[in-house]
Amino acid sequence: MIMSSKICVKVPASTANLGPGFDCLGMALNLYAWLEMELADRTEIKLYGEHMAGVPTDKSNLVYTVAQQVFTKAGLSEQELKISMYSEIPLTRGLGSSASAIVGGLAAANALIEQPFSQDELFQIATAIEKHPDNVGASLFGGIVAAMWDGKRAYHVRIEPHEHLEVLVVIPEYELSTKHARSVLPEEVPMGDAIYNLSHSSVLVAALSAGRLDLLAEAMQDRLHQPYRAALVPGMSHILELAPKHGALGVALSGAGPTMLAFVDARSEEKGKLETFFKETLQEAGIEATTMWLAPAPKGVELLTLDSETGTFIDRFKGETRA
Ligand SMILES: Nc1ncnc2c1ncn2[C@@H]1O[C@H](COP(=O)(O)OP(=O)(O)O)[C@@H](O)[C@H]1O
Ligand SMILES: N[C@@H](CCOP(=O)(O)O)C(=O)O
């Protein structure tokens, strides 16, 4: 097997669920992580940027471990790796940082050994690791992804986002791990709530495919996870209830939270009003938070051509705060 010298990938963040599509509907966002990987004599992991704080730099690092899964699957032994990473994606905020690390690590390792695995095979491996095909599917394929996984095989259909769809996120300062946000969910739900979510999620997928932005506010309602997670996210119930009255096309908890997200028509004149509403709600709840205007990322993970002068992409981020 031929080994490439140095690989650089760019991978988008993702927002999962979009309200009712719990574990099955996601969207890639134009916030990115960059990752370089090459074979080395001894493993060395360097992290750049404020969002990498606390991420391990030894062989327990997620990118390193998922890369080894690719090598093992390709029949190779453990490979020592030099990995450099810079990320704009806040950790443990519901913006799919772990999915982006998994997808980035798999894509880079696959490219390092001349791509024995297809995108679909990477999707299978990524889903088995992350367990949420909506997050990893969005980071792999870009756009909006409707996905399903039965524990053995994952399937997806990509939906092209509407050209005027913009995204406002409000990112609380505090971290909320996906593990904790899942631990508050019940083992069983009433049949009425299951039907409610099936119908809303179905109409949401159809509305996103057909460009029916007028249906988003209603179709993004959820009864399977958001009500249970409300206690973990101060201000959320208020935002979910009132954002459409402040100009949002639809609103949801992003992934497992605590970030909240609103879809907005880019042509709307109410963007300022909505952002103020988000900021004031979090302020009143006593939570420090940052708002950010984003857009759906049309492309999933990409292999980048390295700069011929510096031979690296990460160099441009080296002035950033070292994690
Ligand atoms: N670039 C990265 N490299 C290595 N590990 C990462 C990276 N990004 C995220 N992670 C891991 O994923 C964890 C966050 O996952 P999770 O709780 O699911 O939140 P999120 O909503 O951000 O995906 C981090 O604490 C870290 O262990
Ligand atoms: N469907 C999962 C999504 C978790 O996404 P993350 O971005 O918070 O890791 C869930 O809602 O638990």
Binding site residue list for ATP: 90-100
Question: What angle do helix axes 133-141 and 97-112 make, rounded to 10 degrees?
Answer: 50
> Is residue 135 domain-resident?
yes
- Full domain range(s) for residue 114: 6-160+298-317
Q: Would you state the structure tokens that stand for residue 196, as one six-digit string?
A: 């409610």
Q: How would residue 305 be classed by pLDDT, with cut points 50, 70 and 90?
A: confident
> Is residue 105 domain-resident?
yes
At residue 248, the pLDDT reads: 98
Which alpha helices (H) appear in the chain, and where do they start and end? 62-73, 97-112, 119-130, 133-141, 178-183, 191-210, 216-219, 226-229, 236-242, 271-284
CA-based radius of gyration for the chain: 20
Residues 84 and 204 in one domain: no
Residues 51 and 78 in one domain: yes
CA of 191 to the centre of ligand 1 (A): 33
Residue whose CA is closest, atom 10 of ligand 2? 256
Q: What is the mean pLDDT of residues 158-179?
A: 96
> Is residue 323 domain-resident?
no
Which alpha helices (H) appear in 265-309, and where do they start and end? 271-284
At residue 5, the pLDDT reads: 85
The tens digit of pLDDT for each residue in 39-84 reads 999 999 999 988 998 999 999 999 999 999 999 999 999 999 999 9
Q: Which ligand is nearest to the CA of 232?
A: 2
Q: What percent of the chain has pLDDT over 90?
A: 90
At residue 322, the pLDDT reads: 37
ipTM over 0.95? The verdict is yes
CA of 92 to the centre of ligand 1 (A): 6
With H, G, I as helix, E, B as strand and everything else as coil, classify residue 35. Answer: strand
Q: What is the mean pLDDT of residues 85-97?
A: 96
Global pTM exceeds 0.80: yes
> Is residue 244 domain-resident?
yes
Q: What is the mean pLDDT of residues 278-286?
A: 96
CA of 175 to the centre of ligand 2 (A): 13
User: Per the structure, how many domains does the chain have?
Assistant: 2
For the cut 60, the answer to whether the pLDDT of residue 318 exceeds it is no
CA distance 85 to 63: 9
At residue 311, the pLDDT reads: 59
Q: Which ligand is nearest to the CA of 138?
A: 2
Give the phi and the psi of residue 276 in degrees, each rounded to 5.
-60, -40
Residues 104 and 40 in one domain: yes
CA distance 205 to 157: 10
